[in-house]
């Protein structure tokens, strides 16, 4: 499974397509923390955890999934808006489904609009086609923002083990007789201790900056922004996308390669062994 992307802290919103000739063209939008388990539940039916709308109408294929949401609430709100575009105040500008427009095409049109508006256009999301047979190009000018990579191939979610820690909610180290002064890592911004398991670092492999995630995010924030999009590393002064910094912190790169240009800009592309 070396060619499968493994993601920690997975919160995803997916699109299903019905392969049953009797119900051909039907779609389903849902939320999951484990896409591989979820598609099995849908195909086994309601008694095995699947949704009643998909029960006894399979087989279904999971066409694509959007992930990288900070928590389940954020993902569930995205799911609801994608399911009910006419009821979402953020999508009032989107026209209704056209008479001859296929439901699948309508779902993709709604998605392209959602990724263009706030707050979703500021999140470090990833668009992944799980079934390349159904992959489509986004309409001109309606593709995801530059900080959202489009990838292909399977993905596996990974739960982080729950362990006892000596840190508080900010990742600050609490006093302990087992901690030696030499082991304490200080935040480059606020100079306060930060746990090594919660530190956030620069994308530049030669930069040794270490920060609390809140401290780094504040240094990336521009005036009028609530969520940072891009900023300059407080130490090496190179410019990066905030979504890329967060992906490194969460261990979400997997088989992705990150190219850092001379001018500090960064681009994502998926390696050949993912497709």
138-142, 160-164, 225-229: least confidently modelled range: 160-164
Residue 205: CB partners within 8 Å, gap ≥ 6? none
Q: What is the pLDDT of residue 122?
A: 86
Tens of pLDDT, residue by residue over 29-82, are: 999 999 999 999 999 887 777 787 888 887 999 999 999 998 888 899 999 999
Domain at 181-274: CATH code? 3.30.40.10
How far is residue 182's CA from residue 34's CA, in Å, rounded to a whole number? 40
For residue 141, pLDDT over 60 is answered with yes
Q: Please, are residues 60 and 54 in contact by the beta-carbon 8 Å criterion?
A: yes
**Largest distance between two CA atoms of the chain:** 70
Mean pLDDT value of segment 200-214: 88
Length reported for the chain: 275
Of 2, 4, 1, 259, nearest to 152 by C-alpha is 4
For residues 188 and 181, what is the distance between their CA atoms, to the nearest angstrom? 17
Q: Cβ distance 231 to 239 under 8 Å?
A: yes
In angstroms, the CA 131 to CA 18 distance is 13
> What residue ranges do the domains of the chain occupy?
5-158, 181-274
pLDDT at 60: 94
Vertex 126: Cα angle to 100 and 212 (nearest 5): 150
Q: Of all residues in the chain, what percent carry a pLDDT higher than 70?
A: 80
Q: Are 62 and 130 in contact (CB under 8 A)?
A: yes
Give residue 171's pLDDT band: very low, low, confident or very high (50, 70, 90). very low
Contact status, residue 216 vs residue 189, Cβ threshold 8 Å: yes
Q: How far apart are CA 242 and CA 246, in angstroms?
A: 6
């Amino acid at each position: 499974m070396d060619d499968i992307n493994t993601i920690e802290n997975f919160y995803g919103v997916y699109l299903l397509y019905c392969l049953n000739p009797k119900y051909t063209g039907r779609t389903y939008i849902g939320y999951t923390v484990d896409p591989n388990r979820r598609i099995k539940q849908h195909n086994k039916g309601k008694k095995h955890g699947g949704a009643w709308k998909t029960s006894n109408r399979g087989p279904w294929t999971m066409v694509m999934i959007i992930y990288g949401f900070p928590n389940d609430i954020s993902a569930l709100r995205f799911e609801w808006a994608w399911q009910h575009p006419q009821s979402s105040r953020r999508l009032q500008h989107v026209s209704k489904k056209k008479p001859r427009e296929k439901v699948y095409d309508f779902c993709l049109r709604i998605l392209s609009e959602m990724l263009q508006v706030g707050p979703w256009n500021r999140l470090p999301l990833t668009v992944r086609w799980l079934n390349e047979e159904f992959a489509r190009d986004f309409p001109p000018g309606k593709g995801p923002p530059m900080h959202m990579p489009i990838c292909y191939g399977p993905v596996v979610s990974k739960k982080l083990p729950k362990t006892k820690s000596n840190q508080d909610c900010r990742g600050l180290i609490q006093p302990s007789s087992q901690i030696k002064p030499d082991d304490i890592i200080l935040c480059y911004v606020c100079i306060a201790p930060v746990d090594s398991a919660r530190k956030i670092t620069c994308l530049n492999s030669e930069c040794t900056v270490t920060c609390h995630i809140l401290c780094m995010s504040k240094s990336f924030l521009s005036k009028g922004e609530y969520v940072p999009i891009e900023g300059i590393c407080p130490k090496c002064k190179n410019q990066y996308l905030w979504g890329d910094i967060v992906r490194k912190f969460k261990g979400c790169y997997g088989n992705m390669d990150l190219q850092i240009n001379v001018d500090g800009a960064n681009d994502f592309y998926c390696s050949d062994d993912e497709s």
